[in-house]
Chain A
């Protein structure tokens, strides 16, 4: 559509923008509905579901959700888990990516291939023994069960390795001759110029950790330790007949990832494109 070298009239451009706007609105409609309904009173949702506004905007719904439905607690738990997982994954991926990209050691390429292969294994295959393991460690119903097993990622390690391979060797040679150790080289030379790669991994890890559902469902049992996705499922069960409350909770659960996406759009796209490339 409208490629270089094609002639375009104003009319076709207007038509084109109109079509794209409609399409975009169609995709966003569920979220528009979600936010609009979260600010209504329950009967207003039932009586006229398509209207955007009720008699007034009821921001107190959000207060109710955060306090009496404990969404505040769930959000806090998810934030703790997500930040630990994301930062941990970045650190282990930087270390692993550096080893695979720059250091020579026996078995490196085989280890790399096997590690990449593990990306194909669906989590459900290891879910049962993982649960048993959590029982043995005494980690069931503790946030640590959502953090420690997830600090390692083949995908992130792969991402960092690819990025490091693109860094010219001359950059570190002087430091190696000066006798700097590898860790210093990684933290002082590689990390400062790896902003884009780290940002890409941050977005992917954050998204994955924030939205995870089946493992918390298995590993966490008491409400005080619920993460957001679990909390949502719980609220849906209890507040079935009160859509503004349920939808306010959904809004709170969805906003962080959408915000991060909007601010870091190009890193998301980069991450997706890298996934596509590995094929």
Chain B
């Protein structure tokens, strides 16, 4: 190597030094320690105690109880309803949080990706003023989730909340117009958005979707604007309907974008924490407890740091899995030019 090359190499490392140091101290080292902690019993104040895979088997493992399974079968019920008695998870709460997180991710996926695409389609126009509308949709993305959660808390109040007031107003209107003359007035549903287990998760999903749509929409919009206009023009000249253009040109060309959005959406939903923390504290009856919230409870409220670390690695494994699946599938069905 010439003197110049050596000098250039040294300069390269020097310029990279802050990043390298930061990466080593605040990423690589904690990552290794976290992996070690996940195999220990650790309460922060005494030395970590090696427990092998115990944290992972506590979270993911289960025991089988054949006796109670047979007992339920004997009582005449189906094998399916007896399954719950057969498989008894070591930590049922983890599975509740796991299930909630999956539901959360799927819910946000459906309620944000599809509307985001439709709005982007609507905003992809040559008319004036589109940036104003784009900004209006995007503002919820930049607002602090904690701040927005406090606002939605009042929208979702059962007594006199915004949503229930609007619903009452609609019900009264419908009653005055139709149902009371028919002698069968509707009752005010007075939904407990945040205080009943069957509604709480959905309420959080709606709020999170509201704050995610703008982000997805901007990515969709950038991709839509990247489609060469001559493709549309040719289709319009050929007399293709808007529907056909959407299905035959736009969606195939946008498939990498769609995939990217699906994956980033799932990855961020798997880490949901602030919304349930502020609005429901994971309740009612753990119906909005997410994995990361459970991890926080275990690690930082009960000081079961080893278990908390293991839960974090499980989240990481899930994210890794989603990313791998994305790479595999996208090879098959994503259209590339």
> A: which residues have CB within 8 A of B?
1-6, 13, 16-17, 19-21, 23-25, 27-28, 30-31, 33-34, 37, 45-47, 49-50, 91-92, 95-96, 98-100, 103-106, 108, 111, 115, 118, 120-122, 124-133, 135, 148-149, 151-152, 154, 157, 182, 186, 207, 210-211, 213-214, 217-218, 228-229, 232-233, 236, 243, 246-247, 249-251, 253-254, 257-258, 260-262, 265, 268-269, 272-273, 275-276, 279
Contacts and interface: CB of A to CB of B under 8 A. Distances in A.
Given A3-B125, A105-B9, A130-B30, A115 B138 contact: no
A108 B162 CA distance: 55
Given A132-B33, A151-B22, A214-B273, A2 B145 contact: no
A124 B292 contact: yes
B199 interface: no
A30 B19 contact: no
B162 A33 contact: yes
A49 B154 contact: yes
* Listed residue (A24, A96, A124, A272) with the most chain B CB atoms within 10 angstroms of its CB: A124
Where chain B touches its partner, the secondary structure class is helix
Interface residues of B, number: 99
Contacts of B15: 95-96, 98-99, 103, 182, 186
Given A23-B133, A124-B315, A127-B312, 7 more contacts: A96-B18, A103-B15, A133-B26, A229-B274, A254-B143, A273-B222, A276-B257
B98 interface: no
A27 B154 contact: no
A-B interface, 4 closest residue pairs, ranked by CB to CB distance from nearest: A152-B22, A105-B12, A24-B136, A103-B12
Nearest to A50: B165
Interface in B111-149: 119, 121-127, 129, 131-140, 142-148
A265 B219 contact: no
A32 to B, nearest CB: 10
Interface in B266-319: 270-271, 273-274, 277-278, 292, 295-296, 299-300, 305, 308-309, 312-313, 315-316, 319
Contacts of A124: 271, 292, 295, 312, 315
Contact of A272 (B122, B123, B219, B236): B219
A233 B278 contact: yes
A269 B143 contact: no
Interface in B215-274: 215, 218-219, 222-223, 229, 232-233, 236, 256-257, 259-260, 264, 270-271, 273-274
6 contacts: A21-B133, A126-B34, A229-B144, A250-B147, A272-B218, A272-B222
Given A247-B154, A258-B139, A1 B124 contact: yes
A257 B126 contact: no
B309 to A, nearest CB: 5
A1 B124 CA distance: 6
Contacts of B229: 3-5
Contacts of A218: 296, 300
B152 interface: yes
Contact of B165 (A5, A49, A276): A49
Contacts of A99: 11-13, 15-16
B18 A233 contact: no
A149 B26 contact: yes
Given A27-B210, A125-B312, A92 B18 contact: yes
* Listed residue (B136, B153, B278) with the most chain A CB atoms within 10 angstroms of its CB: B136
B26 A92 contact: no
Given A4-B126, A46-B160, A149-B26, A31 B150 contact: no
Interface in B193-231: 210, 213-215, 218-219, 222-223, 229
A115 B210 CA distance: 32
B320 interface: yes
Interface string B4-37: 0100111111011111101100110111011001
Given A3-B229, A152-B22, A34 B162 contact: no
B151 interface: yes
B278 A1 contact: no
Contacts of A49: 154, 160-162, 165
A49 B158 CA distance: 12
B82 interface: no
Contact of B22 (A92, A131, A265): A92
B33 A5 contact: no
B136 to A, nearest CB: 3
